[in-house]
A and B are shown apart, each in its own frame.
Chain A
Amino acid sequence: MVELRRVFCVEDDPDIRMLVQMALAKLGGLEVCLVESAEIAQQEAAAFKPDLFLLDVMLPGMTGLEFFQLTRQDPELAEVPAVLLTAKVSADYPETWKQPGILGLIEKPFNPVNLASQLHTLFDASKQM
């Protein structure tokens, strides 16, 4: 069974990036790559070979979901699942993220102490199916 080791995270707020870094790398023992926009992620994601994307939905320029759609056409990234991070600002939002490859949605504010185990649970559940 594939184990979750490498997480590629796109988040525009520097402080939240720091918290994710702390939660996943320091506490969760995962290898983490953090970038601030989807445009940068496009250039760097393939090289990192992630097991999972952690995507903020509201990003400047390209949104997290748009970035996820693009990765589906990239042979190297098409199989990489994603978990969304969102401040849940819109009522109709839950409908749009339910699509193959998106494992779940973590609402802000999230608890960084549990973040790694949350990702593990979602990732493992998807692999067992």
Chain B
Amino acid sequence: MAAFHPRNWSLQKRLSLLLAGCFIIITVLSAILVKAYFENEYRSLFLKREQEQIRLVVQRIEQNLETRLRWVEAHADRLADVEGLLPLASIREHLKAAQVGSGFSDLSVMNPEGVVLIDQPVFPGRVGTDYSFRSFISRSLTEKTSVISSLLIGAKTRRPMYVMAAPIFDEREELVGLLVASTDLREEALFKRLGEEMQDQDSRLLVLDPINRLYIASSNPDQVLQPLPEPGAEPLLDRLLDSTSRGTLEDEQGEAWIFVNEYMEPMHWLVVKLASERAVLMPVRNLISQYLLLTLLMLVIMGCLTIYLVHYLLRPVRQAIAQINTAVNQGGGLQPFAIQRQDEIGQLLQAFNALEQMRDRQDRMKEEFISLVSHELRTPLTSIQGSLSLLTSAQLGEPEREEMLSIAERNTGRLLALVNDLLDLASLARGSLRLEMRQQSLKPILDEVLCDFSPQAKAKQIELDLEMAAEDIQVKVDYARLQQVMNNLLSNAVKFSPEGTRVSIQVSTDKDEWVRISVKDEGEGIPLGFQSRVFERFAQADASDRRRHGGTGLGLSITRELVAAMQGRMGFSSLPHQGSCFYLELPRYGLSTTEES
């Protein structure tokens, strides 16, 4: 299962998948948000437009009613004179003439009690009928104002109609009758026209009469003046009748409808504009799907670009891996990587090149060291083996035999010193050197070292001297190791001093609680170019130096590490042809506390 963990996927795969995932999430999220926003905006815009339209419809209906009412009032005025109502014959003439082209299907005149006096056209049995049971008639009579009825079904005609009543006054402003004008909805052009006008639009217009349960007008011509379905038969319609001014409703198929209502007071009608939400929002949804399609296209392009970019970015890494693998499998050396960029990857490869260079240098140094060590081991071995084979197989005189023995002994010592140096180096490198730190007086150590070197110094006529700032200076050191350090420094000083010069050891103390031991010679000094490498392992100023002056190039390196192991520090100063001064500083022991107390 571990193989399927994303950690084990290639960087290219991970980056590509991550970016692709991000793109897809962003696209989907933005599509959802944009869709929601646009749908909302579009819906409210649509509702606003619908509201305006419905208001216009209502206005048109109301204007129509108003005009008709004025017409009725105007004609009512003409039906009376000073004596009261005109004679029935002239009223009939008047009504006959007025009805033509008026749009009213039925005109009649009632007396102030609400009884029909005359009608036009004549409907048998209507004259003499008392209509005061109609609330609008009695209201018109008592309040003496013109009134519009709500929709009603004619008591005699059985037709759906609305009726206008205008009081007739004589010249003394006495109520003498009522002009009643009915409009047969089946002949009313306005509603038909409204329905037809709305047919082309994406929403349906309905004018409903909830009281009589009738379609007054509809975009569907078949419904006009048809009764509304029974409650429960068409739930959408039921809900519409119950609803407030605007909103969304669902029909039985679960389809959403957007509607706007307006209630018309005098007629108790409900004017409704109804539209399928799907149809209304279709443009938005088309827009979104186009947007998604376009985004998908861009996503594919972006995906390709991303994959290419990641591929391009990681190319140096792949090349480097291939180069390393080839080098490892074929065992050849590793060529430095070609650096074409300065980004992090370029920097990494550069760092790798530098590391590889350093490793090469270390390898070379190690090889040089091994070759040097083997040479240094062979030289005393040659002397030992040579002298021993001469001793055993050749006829030698006594002085020569002694000479051979001393050669063997001397070179055994050289060999031992070299092996010890190597062991020290190894334990210093491992950090496993054991020191026996004890409080010591400095002078005996230095005296002993000077004593050891006096034969060598004498041979080169070199004067050795020791200057101490105080007789008794205490330090905490490993006796043998400090001796080794001083041996190294003195050996170098004597080695590099010309004959007849002076090597001096100075011991000074300072307030900072350090003891400084300096070893000064009057030799050639250290070449400027070599000064930075003085303490490097295996380093010697000149390759030939190691033969001229002996040594492995390990002495100063070992010395400095030993001093550091004893909590001290080491340094040097040197000018060409003016000699060198190597010094080491050790923490002073015991003295500072007695001074303070």
A residues near B, CB below 8 A? 12-13, 15-16, 18-19, 22-23, 26-27, 58-61, 87, 89-90, 108-113
Q: Give Cα A23–Cα B407 distance, bound, in whole angstroms.
A: 14
What is the minimal beta-carbon distance from A62 to any residue of chain B, in angstroms?
8
Contact A87:B389 (CB < 8 A) given known A12-B547, A18-B407: no
Contacts of B371 in A (CB 8 A): 89-90
Contact A61:B386 (CB < 8 A) given known A87-B374, A89-B371: no
Is B382 at the interface (CB under 8 A from chain A)?
Answer: yes
Contact A19:B390 (CB < 8 A) given known A13-B383, A59-B547, A61-B544: yes
Q: Can you list 28 residue pairs at the A/B interface with Cβ under 8 Å? A: A12-B548, A13-B382, A13-B383, A15-B387, A16-B379, A16-B383, A18-B403, A19-B383, A19-B387, A19-B407, A22-B394, A22-B403, A23-B386, A58-B375, A60-B544, A87-B375, A89-B371, A89-B372, A89-B375, A108-B379, A109-B378, A110-B382, A111-B386, A111-B389, A112-B390, A113-B389, A113-B393, A113-B394
What is the minimal beta-carbon distance from B418 to any residue of chain A, in angstroms?
14
Contacts of B374 in A (CB 8 A): 87, 89
Is B488 at the interface (CB under 8 A from chain A)?
Answer: no
Q: Give Cα A112–Cα B386 distance, bound, in whole angstroms.
A: 6
What is the minimal beta-carbon distance from A26 to any residue of chain B, in angstroms?
7
Q: Give Cα A112–Cα B547 distance, bound, in whole angstroms.
A: 22
Contact A13:B548 (CB < 8 A) given known A89-B371, A109-B386: no
**What is the number of residues of chain B that contact chain A, defined by CB distance less than 8 Å?**
29
With both beta carbons as reference points, the residue of chain B lying nearest to A62 in the complex is identified as: B544
Q: Give Cα A22–Cα B387 distance, bound, in whole angstroms.
A: 9
Contacts of A112 in B (CB 8 A): 386, 389-390
CB pair A109 B385 closer than 8 Å: yes
Pick from A26, A58, A113: contact of B547, CB below 8 A: A58
Which of A18, A27, A113 is packed against the most chain B CB atoms within 10 Å? A18
Is B400 at the interface (CB under 8 A from chain A)?
Answer: yes
Contacts of B382 in A (CB 8 A): 13, 16, 19, 87, 108-110
Contacts of B385 in A (CB 8 A): 109, 111
**Chain B 507-550 against A: per-residue CB contact (8 Å), 1 yes, 0 no?**
00000000000000000000000000000000000001101100
Q: Give Cα A23–Cα B391 distance, bound, in whole angstroms.
A: 11
Is B410 at the interface (CB under 8 A from chain A)?
Answer: yes
What is the minimal beta-carbon distance from A35 to any residue of chain B, in angstroms?
14
With both beta carbons as reference points, the residue of chain B lying nearest to A63 in the complex is identified as: B544
Contacts of A13 in B (CB 8 A): 379, 382-383
Q: Give Cα A36–Cα B380 distance, bound, in whole angstroms.
A: 16
What is the minimal beta-carbon distance from A15 to any residue of chain B, in angstroms?
4
What is the minimal beta-carbon distance from B386 to any residue of chain A, in angstroms?
4
CB pair A22 B400 closer than 8 Å: yes
Contacts of A22 in B (CB 8 A): 390, 394, 396, 400, 403-404
Is B411 at the interface (CB under 8 A from chain A)?
Answer: yes
CB pair A60 B548 closer than 8 Å: yes
Pick from B394, B403, B545, B548: contact of A27, CB below 8 A: B394
Q: Give Cα A61–Cα B379 distance, bound, in whole angstroms.
A: 18
Is B381 at the interface (CB under 8 A from chain A)?
Answer: yes
Pick from A15, A23, A108: contact of B378, CB below 8 A: A108
Q: A12-B547, A15-B410, A26-B396 are in contact. List 14 more A-B contacts (CB 8 A).
A: A13-B379, A13-B382, A15-B383, A22-B390, A58-B547, A59-B547, A60-B548, A87-B379, A108-B378, A109-B384, A111-B386, A111-B389, A112-B386, A113-B394
Contacts of A89 in B (CB 8 A): 371-372, 374-375, 378
Q: Give Cα A108–Cα B145 distance, bound, in whole angstroms.
A: 147
With both beta carbons as reference points, the residue of chain A lying nearest to B407 in the complex is identified as: A15
CB pair B411 A15 closer than 8 Å: yes
Q: Give Cα A12–Cα B547 distance, bound, in whole angstroms.
A: 8
What is the minimal beta-carbon distance from A60 to any residue of chain B, in angstroms?
4
With both beta carbons as reference points, the residue of chain B lying nearest to A115 in the complex is identified as: B386
Q: Give Cα A112–Cα B47 distance, bound, in whole angstroms.
A: 121
What is the minimal beta-carbon distance from B572 to any residue of chain A, in angstroms?
23
CB pair B400 A109 closer than 8 Å: no
With both beta carbons as reference points, the residue of chain B lying nearest to A113 in the complex is identified as: B393
